[in-house]
Structure 1
């Protein structure tokens, strides 16, 4: 299978880098220190921290609690690594890409540095939108910052919330993992190939018709 796009919009955690254990540790510690039952964190994967905090604590505690989580998440970075194929994919796409993440900008900076993932010029974080994934705003903003039509973009995601966001923005979706509702699904980015051809980005999925 070969598809062409104007740009590629990559999620970060679980897509380009593996921060799974660091994220779990951060939220578990945060919940314990904030007096929140960790079981209430179920179903929050892929959602912005500010929305998770808002769903668990009263309004007067939101700002301080979010800062508390950010402090934990930017300091506990053990085990954060680049995922298979991620470096090759982002390098192949060149400047026709954006990273669109539910993390805050400080957490994003800390995790990409820990994973030694090259930075990108166009970055959309939870700090840049009022409503995060699964709403379309993050991916609409990413496309707008690149100056392209979202309907001619590919969104690369590993969560249902992220894929819902990409679809709502009008993008084609590439899901990484199993049991995901996406236009194309592969285990990870090592199973696809990107290349820039003229002013377009070509995606090739070997073995797909």
Structure 2
């Protein structure tokens, strides 16, 4: 499933003395790199792995968990999820489990039985470990799975498997340019025959 469940904001270690809050800073390179990756992996990529960077990553995660303003589902997502049995889908996310569930609830989307979150894998996206674990939880061969992705790191991970892949949204990924692309889920049709699904774009 699409993995656009959280926004990344980096925080510097410097506090604003007037408000007592952490001062955010952003760059296009940081945002592009961060999308679809574990928070800790992103922060340590730019700041190195040390006590300071790990503390910053923890601060970001805590901030994201409590921030739900503006969280909305991708168009058509709820209607698609209602057509799939809860045991026949999984979310593979670079977010923590708590953050994933909070964002699903904020968006008004059901929580599936199977979630592969940041805590469940050693290597996050673009490593495909999470997708193979998701297939294992579903009891399916990876080649029988359709992955929806919206981030460069996730697309790279999916391409390292034998799964089918569709790109959702406006991600300008260098990888997978020849793949199916959809703006949202409103034009997708799903037909079910026992435990198998036919998806038409």
Deviation, structure 1 residue 140: 0.6
Unaligned runs of 5+ in 2: 15-21
Match of 2:41 in 1: 51
Structure with more relative contact order (C-alpha pairs < 8 Å, separation 6 or more): 1
Determine the C-alpha separation between the residues in 1 that align with 2:113 and 2:74.
20
- Cα deviation digits, residues 94-134 of structure 1 (max 9, x gap): 12100111111121121111111111000011111111111
**Could you list the runs of 4 or more consecutive aligned residues of structure 1 that deviate by over 3 angstroms after TM superposition?**
31-37
What pairs with 1:1-209 in structure 2 (closer than 5 Å)?
10-13=1-4, 19=6, 23-24=7-8, 27-28=9-10, 30-31=11-12, 33=14, 38-39=26-27, 41-44=30-33, 45-57=35-47, 58-94=49-85, 95-178=87-170, 179-180=172-173, 181=176, 183-205=179-201
Deviation, structure 1 residue 74: 1.0
Contact 1:32 1:38 in 2 (8 A): no
Determine the C-alpha separation between the residues in 2 that align with 1:31 and 1:202.
47
Unaligned runs of 5+ in 1: 1-9
Deviation, structure 1 residue 35: 7.3
Determine the C-alpha separation between the residues in 2 that align with 1:173 and 1:43.
20
Deviation, structure 1 residue 89: 1.2
Deviation, structure 1 residue 32: 6.4
Contact 1:36 1:56 in 2 (8 A): no
TM-score normalised per structure 1: 0.80
Determine the C-alpha separation between the residues in 1 that align with 2:132 and 2:139.
11
TM-score normalised per structure 2: 0.83
For residues 165 and 71 of structure 1, do their structure 2 counterparts lie closer, same or farther at Cα, with a shift above 3 Å needed? same
Between 88-97 and 140-149, the greater mean CA deviation after superposition: 88-97
Question: Residue 113 of structure 2: SS of its match in structure 1?
Answer: coil
Contact 2:145 2:164 in 1 (8 A): yes
